[in-house]
Structure 1
Amino acid sequence: MDCIEVTGIRSYGYTGLLPEERTLGQWFEVDLTLWLDLQVSGKSDDINDTVDYRHAIDMVKHIIQTAKFALVEKLAEVIAEDVLKFESISQVRVKLSKPSPPIPDFGGRITIDITRSK
């Protein structure tokens, strides 16, 4: 199966276990892998024969900006569910990262990596 990778979607949101995370917010980063058949669009050169990933990017940003979940796992799941609503996409991989989680003496990032299919 063919795929389109969309990396580096960055948006400010309010998901997190701590009350401050849901009030003050923080940055999130998302990478998507969209599985779909690209053979037709590869021959036709017509956007209508593929997925317009600009819409997926806008949707991911909107979800991050408006959702207030306790867990990033829930945020990743909602993103996957909504991406799968695109007719041509059969499977999606969502890598959702918190680049600066509020954990004392920790300078790394937390990443949730899920794959969902129709």
Structure 2
Amino acid sequence: MDLIHIHDLRLWAHVGVLDHERRDGQWFQLDITLGLDLSASAKSDDLSATADYSLAVGALQALVSELCCLTIECFSEAIFEVLERLYGPLPMHLVLQKCHPPIAGFTGSVAIERRRNWSVQQGFYAI
């Protein structure tokens, strides 16, 4: 199985427990991995034989223009739903990072990592 990686996709989203996070929005960073067989597109050089990652980027940019929720877990679920509508039930992995969480005295970031249709037995590993 082959992998397509989308790294460092920056999205401005209205997600957070605090009212101002949902009202004003904030930066998130997203890494996505899609597991699929790329051999047909590698041989044919045919975009229709692969998962066009530009569609994912555009669809996720559209998602954040209308999304408003409390948790990054809910945000990640919406991301999976968008990706499944585009590509079907591929093995998917994501890391969704809230770049500047409003926690007093904290200057780091917070992230969640999730997988869908992903199995170690099948040999899918995120990088």
Class of the TM-score when normalised by the shorter of the 2 chains: over 0.9
With the length of structure 2 as denominator, give the TM-score of the two structures: 0.87
Q: What code does the residue aligned with 1:2 have?
A: D
Determine the structure 2 residue equivalent to 1:96: 96
Determine the structure 2 residue equivalent to 1:3: 3
**Please, what is the CA RMSD of the aligned residues?**
1.5
Q: What code does the residue aligned with 1:105 have?
A: G
Determine the structure 2 residue equivalent to 1:39: 39
1:67-118 per-residue CA deviation (whole Å, 9 max, x = no partner) reads 1011110000110122022336611111111110000000110101101129
Q: What code does the residue aligned with 2:9 have?
A: I
Distance in structure 2 (CA, Å) of the matches to 1:64 and 1:113: 19
Q: Percent identity?
A: 34
Please, which runs of 5 or more residues in structure 1 have no aligned partner? none
List structure 1 runs of 4+ shifted beyond 4 angstroms.
none
Report SS of the residue matched to 1:93. strand
Q: What code does the residue aligned with 1:63 have?
A: L
Determine the structure 2 residue equivalent to 1:82: 82
Determine the structure 2 residue equivalent to 1:115: 115
Contact 1:11 1:65 survives alignment (8 Å): no
Please, which runs of 5 or more residues in structure 2 have no aligned partner? 119-127
Distance in structure 2 (CA, Å) of the matches to 1:13 and 1:45: 35
Q: Number of paired residues?
A: 118
